[in-house]
Amino acid sequence: MARDVYDALPAAREVIRAADDILGYRLSTLMFEGPEEELTETANAQPAIFTASVAMLRCATLPQDVAFVAGHSVGEYSALVAAGCLTFEDGLRLVRERGRLMSEAGTDAPGGMLAVLGLEDGAIEEACASVSPLTACAANYNAPGQTIVSGEEAALEAVTAALKARGAKRVLRLNVSAAFHSPIMAAAAAKLDEAIERTPLAAPRWPVIGNVSAEPLHTEDDVRRELAAQIAAPVRWEASVRRMITGGAKRLIEIGPGRVLTGLAKRIEPSVEALHVSDLESPRGVAV
């Protein structure tokens, strides 16, 4: 993860070395060498994704007429760095705490997540409600025909059957350690709120489309409320992308490891231009 930009670009190297210093351990070694099962643990994966995203951001040549910024789940923190609302250093400390608390919540209340393909949101929500009093809910509204469901361990088998009975084409268990973006994360959200309140923020230089509301965040208070609510609430990504497009965005640029959001953007609105900054081979004119 991010090894090519680290080796080639001083700005990326500076960010990743700073992360090692702030965290007090060699995150860079995990990012570059693994082992993968350790890197993908929630407490490590979130700081790694955030650090790699900001490293690539520092090396990107962006348009002057930015209309909005947005980030999916933990990506919202790097979006806030891009908007000048949050420093990298403070953001990394928050992301580390976020990952720790979410991992802890998963240990206290075991659960998981399911990718649901080919089923409308309303039918998914009905399936989740049908397993009550067990906890299952839509967690990521990613794109038409692709929604993620979170649930406690005891609910996952039942909700899988309910989803298939309503016509889901596929229901796939994701390799994650907990039921993220669900009420199971409520205790983690309350504890994270304390850290958020202690963190300096500035008003975003560009509107940030929040995961929870899919509407622009303009002030420090808006951002604090968003971050406190976000880990226990669904990510409304499809609505967020549509909000940027209806608000005037003509081109969407994904910055960070991987190209998942670029693919989602094309599913949400096939006519939109979507690019990615994920490595040294990223499109000319977008990345250095």
pLDDT band at 60 (very low <50, low <70, confident <90, very high): confident
Residue spans per domain, the chain:
3-106+183-277, 110-173
Task: Tell me what pLDDT residue 283 has.
Answer: 58
H-run or E-run covering 269: none
Establish whether 181 is a catalytic residue.
Answer: yes
Q: Quick one: CATH architecture of 3-106+183-277?
A: 3-Layer(aba) Sandwich (3.40)
Per annotation, catalytic residue among 53, 78, 150, 181:
181
Establish whether 276 is a catalytic residue.
Answer: no
Q: What is the CA radius of gyration of the chain?
A: 18
* Percent of the chain with pLDDT strictly greater than 90: 90
CB of 249 within 8 A of CB of 222?
no
Q: Is the pLDDT of residue 287 over 60?
A: no
**How big is the CA angle at 190 (ends 185 and 192), to the nearest 5 degrees?**
90
Q: Could you count the other beta carbons within 10 Å of the beta carbon of residue 107? A: 9
H-run or E-run covering 48: helix 42-59
List, for residues 243-272, the tens digit of each pLDDT value: 999 999 999 999 999 899 999 999 999 999
Q: Is the pLDDT of residue 288 over 50?
A: no
Backbone angles phi, psi at 195, to 5 degrees: -70, -40
List, for residues 133-191, the tens digit of each pLDDT value: 999 999 999 999 999 999 999 999 999 999 999 999 999 999 888 999 999 999 999 99
Q: Could you count the other beta carbons within 10 Å of the beta carbon of residue 219? A: 13
List, for residues 10-34, the tens digit of each pLDDT value: 999 999 999 999 999 999 999 999 9
Over the chain, what is the mean pLDDT? Answer: 94
pTM, entire model: 0.94
Residue 119 burial (C-beta neighbours within 10 Å; 0-12, 13-18, 19+): buried
Per annotation, catalytic residue among 28, 53, 73, 182:
73
110-173, CATH topology level: Alpha-Beta Plaits (3.30.70)
Q: Is the pLDDT of residue 52 over 90?
A: yes
